[in-house]
Amino acid sequence: MRMRKRRNLAPRMERCAELLISEPEQMKGKWKDLLPGCGVLWLELGCGKGRFTAELAETEPQVLLVALERVPDAMIIAMERAKNRGLPNVRFIDGNASLLDTFFGAGEVDRIFINFCDPWPKSRDAKLRLTSPAFLRQYCDVLPVGGQICFKTDNTPLFDWSVSVFKDEKWQLSELTHDLHADGPLGIMTDYEAKFYAEGMKINRLVATKTAATLGTAAGPVARLKDASLTDARGYAESRAAFENRKEQE
Ligand SMILES: C[S@@+](CC[C@H](N)C(=O)[O-])C[C@H]1O[C@@H](n2cnc3c(N)ncnc32)[C@H](O)[C@@H]1O
């Protein structure tokens, strides 16, 4: 996500300090203590400006929702949304999803949301996609058997590529659709999703469930990704760039 530098980032972060977990490594294995009585922890990767984060936390008050984002200029908007709604059950990590296993213990996370992650269309960048094999193995480690990943994207080449990675890594797939909102808006939309939906773009979604056969990091190194470019990368990159430009002017 290309972002304008937010003015007053530091004081705005300070005002939302109670929502930020500044040393997430210290919380490993203890996250659920943050919300007494809560038995469930959900994790959103790349929350961006947090429309989905705030609405999900409000809809599911018994769930502790942790939102992780590596761009603080986007995350501050998500944090302010959560603070303005007075949500007691959401926390934020300013960090990279590649460090997930340092933040969460084995089986500690019950569900992971990956919404409109960056597609990284070039083959040489495929390992950075949040649905690449190395990421899926980390997710496997922090989820229990039966734990789920909910994945949404407008990018069909990324979605189709991800489906094959999930299958190779032995996740059980369900609720797979290439047009989530075919019969009208369904579920909580993210910031990106609301824009794409308004523009008439189709949204892909699937749920991947961990089984006893799903591969984790103990299964060893992942094979080198071959021929992993996304086929319509050029056209997609241009439309995403146009979208970002429009957003910057808003
Ligand atoms: C295209 S935006 C989507 C934002 C939001 N999920 C939505 O749907 O509106 C992708 C977001 O994921 C974040 N992101 C990408 N890779 C990440 C990573 N490895 N760790 C944490 N955040 C990441 C980006 O900074 C960006 O804010």
Which pLDDT value is given to residue 250?
Answer: 47
Q: How far apart, in Å, are the Cα atoms of 22 and each of 64, 83, 94, 194? A: 17, 17, 7, 30
Residue 102 is which amino acid? T
Asked if residue 2 belongs to a domain, the reply is no
The answer to whether 38 and 176 have CB atoms below 8 angstroms apart is no
**Is 226 or 107 the better-scoring residue by pLDDT?**
107
CATH of the domain at 113: 3.40.50.150
pLDDT class of 225 with cuts at 50, 70, 90: confident
- The closest residue, in CA terms, to atom 11 on ligand 1 is 46
Which pLDDT value is given to residue 244?
Answer: 60
49-83 pLDDT per residue, tens: 999 999 999 999 999 999 999 999 999 999 999 99
Asked if residue 43 belongs to a domain, the reply is yes
Asked if residue 3 belongs to a domain, the reply is no
Query: Which ligand 1 atom minimizes the distance to the CA of 96?
Result: 20
169-218 pLDDT per residue, tens: 999 999 999 999 999 999 999 999 999 999 999 999 999 999 999 999 99
The answer to whether 69 and 96 have CB atoms below 8 angstroms apart is no
- The closest residue, in CA terms, to atom 16 on ligand 1 is 46
Q: What is the pTM of this model?
A: 0.92
Which pLDDT value is given to residue 224?
Answer: 83
Which pLDDT value is given to residue 248?
Answer: 58
Query: 35-61 burial by CB neighbour count: b if 16+ within 10 A, else e?
Result: beebeebbbbbbbbbbbbbbbbbbeee
Which pLDDT value is given to residue 112?
Answer: 98
Percent of the chain with pLDDT strictly greater than 90: 84
Asked if residue 125 belongs to a domain, the reply is yes
The mean pLDDT of the chain is: 91
Query: Which ligand 1 atom minimizes the distance to the CA of 71?
Result: 25
Structural domains counted in the chain: 1
Which pLDDT value is given to residue 233?
Answer: 46
Query: Which ligand 1 atom minimizes the distance to the CA of 98?
Result: 19
Asked if residue 168 belongs to a domain, the reply is yes
- The closest residue, in CA terms, to atom 27 on ligand 1 is 48
Ligand 1 site residues (CB inside 6 A) read 1, 45-48, 68-71, 74, 96-98, 115-118, 190-193
Mean pLDDT of 110-136: 96
Which pLDDT value is given to residue 231?
Answer: 72
User: 199 CA distance to ligand 1 centroid (A)?
Assistant: 20
User: 98 CA distance to ligand 1 centroid (A)?
Assistant: 12
The pLDDT of residue 238 is above 50: no
Among 94, 101, 118, 125, the active-site one is 118
Percent of the chain with pLDDT strictly greater than 70: 90
Residue 74 belongs to what domain range?
9-249
User: 132 CA distance to ligand 1 centroid (A)?
Assistant: 15
Q: Is 118 a catalytic residue?
A: yes
User: 138 CA distance to ligand 1 centroid (A)?
Assistant: 17
- The closest residue, in CA terms, to atom 14 on ligand 1 is 46
- The closest residue, in CA terms, to atom 23 on ligand 1 is 46
Q: Is 150 exposed, middle or buried (0-12, 13-18, 19+ CB in 10 A)?
A: middle
Asked if residue 238 belongs to a domain, the reply is yes
Asked if residue 1 belongs to a domain, the reply is no
Asked if residue 179 belongs to a domain, the reply is yes
Query: Which ligand 1 atom minimizes the distance to the CA of 1?
Result: 26
